Structure 1
Amino acid sequence: MSNDIIVKAVDVTKHFGNFLALDKVNLEVTRGEVSCIIGPSGSGKSTLLRCINLLERLDGGAIWVNNELVGYRREGDRLHEISDVEISQQRRRIGMVFQRFNLFPHMTALENIVEGPVQVLGEPARQARERAETLLERVGLADKKDHYPSELSGGQQQRVAIARAMGMQPDLILFDEPTSALDPELVSEVLDVMRDLASSGMTMIVVTHEMGFARNVANTVTFMEAGKVVETGLASEVLSTPKSARTAEFIKAVQS
């Protein structure tokens, strides 16, 4: 596998009972790329992210991150599931930003960012705190470092969540519809932070309905429906001249 490819998914399959959530999904993301995944609700977009981040076990296929097989260890011709400790080690390099922020309610904004580097990476507290303060300044929340999540707006909480993901110094950040839980007037402040992150060269996979963000920031766009990849390609091509009639129908409906 090329060193430029940071994520490679091959024939990824996932069932929830009798429901086929992912049906032989293939995806490649190169280092420094912003890859947006679009599609209707229930199409498997979030499930794919959760599989990349080892929050869900695969039922078929395989995923590599940084040329390392995710969730399994190969011994000869056989694959063996890795332990929870090994999963945690793999997950360290993959940041994730959820729809509902998932901040620790009993911790301040600063403490939320410091917790992972200190407890998971073993970083000295002073060093983690200094970087956390820098990250809060970067997302425009330096003056909110001692505020608890309940004292912050939804947009501010999501910006803290992004700073928290960045605090782990990941190779890749996954965004699962990061603006879907926000009031419309708060969406832009989160998207602005994501644009800044993209311009810095961070590799990002973004599940989103924000077509403007996908059009202006994404390198590639993948359209999914019913657990399958219907179309994938350069953002400019997929969003302007989609090959699939179903992709065109979805984009028109979302933009109208």
Structure 2
Amino acid sequence: MTAENAGTIVQEPVLEAVRVNKFYGHHQVLKDVSLNVRPGEVVCLIGPSGAGKSTFLRTLNRLEVPDSGEIWVGGDPVGFRHDRSKLYELSERHLSAQRARTAMVFQHFNLFPHFTALQNVMEGPIQVQKRKAASVREEAVALLERVGLGDKINHYPSQLSGGQRQRVAIARAVAMKPLFLLFDEPTSALDPELVGEVLDVMTDLARDGRTMLVVTHEMGFARRVADRIVFMADGMVVEQGTPDEVLGNPREPRTQQFIKRVLS
């Protein structure tokens, strides 16, 4: 849906989170976190460990259930369905289908170890989206070739490097044709020499106009690729803006301390 204002077409957010809160016992991990992402936008979440970044990401597809707040994806409430102006919680089966709209790439790959690279990429579209195997296979092969793994389609995860496994995971996420991609620190489990090959694939996706929300510690990647950087600390959004604003000239003291430490 779009709205026209003074001759400019403004796209509605594909993701909208409003005052999301999450507790683990008495410890509040997320404190009124609000964020929206528009189609084609790349947003990087940065901040210290324990800031709530990964938890927030997991609430967006209900891998974590928020204690309060609202999350909307593609105009639909996450975890619920509308029926005559009332909201009803989705069953696990319908929730799985809704999650497919927000494919996630995890820190530790989460590939099926008994499936080949090709089978890992094909599994979701066939089992969740009920698409035909022949067309899914053709798309999966093309995606693996695109991430530089055309010669590894019949390899199992144990036969691949960490960087290669993460590239399979990215291809698997893209194969679901989601509204946007979620990346939860996708390079944090990789040896330093393998980080670049994964970031190159992500940069390529960004150039293609993919909508992406990325939790990352890679400041160079965030500066180069992000349309907007969001700094979180202590469960809150402290500051957000363009890479030049947040990384080059942060306003808030908490942001300034973090940027000085990670860029020094």
What range describes the TM-score normalised by the shorter chain of this pair?
over 0.9
Does the aligned pair in 1 maintain the 2:183–2:214 contact within 8 Å? yes
**Structure 2 counterpart of 1:150:** 158
**Structure 1 counterpart of 2:5:** none
**Structure 2 counterpart of 1:211:** 219
Taking structure 1 as reference, are residues 75 and 111 closer, same or farther at Cα in structure 2, changes over 3 Å only?
A: closer
| CA distance in structure 2 between the aligned counterparts of 1:153 and 1:89, rounded to whole angstroms | 30
**Structure 1 counterpart of 2:239:** 231
| CA distance in structure 2 between the aligned counterparts of 1:156 and 1:170, rounded to whole angstroms | 22
Letter in 1 for 2:140: A
**Structure 2 counterpart of 1:107:** 115
Q: How many pairs are equivalent?
A: 256
Give the alignment's Cα RMSD to 1 decimal. Answer: 1.3
**Structure 2 counterpart of 1:161:** 169
| CA distance in structure 1 between the aligned counterparts of 2:133 and 2:90, rounded to whole angstroms | 30
Alignment of 1:18-57 (within 5 A): 18-57=26-65
**Structure 1 counterpart of 2:129:** 121
**Structure 2 counterpart of 1:5:** 13
**Structure 1 counterpart of 2:96:** 88
Correspondence 1:14 to 2:52: no
Moved more, 77-86 or 119-128: 77-86
Correspondence 1:185 to 2:193: yes
In the TM superposition, residue 171 of structure 1 has moved relative to its aligned partner by 1.0
TM-score under structure 2 length normalisation: 0.94
Letter in 2 for 1:160: V
Moved more, 207-216 or 66-75: 66-75
| CA distance in structure 1 between the aligned counterparts of 2:85 and 2:177, rounded to whole angstroms | 34
Letter in 2 for 1:57: V
Taking structure 1 as reference, are residues 5 and 103 closer, same or farther at Cα in structure 2, changes over 3 Å only?
A: same
TM-score under structure 1 length normalisation: 0.97
**Structure 1 counterpart of 2:8:** none
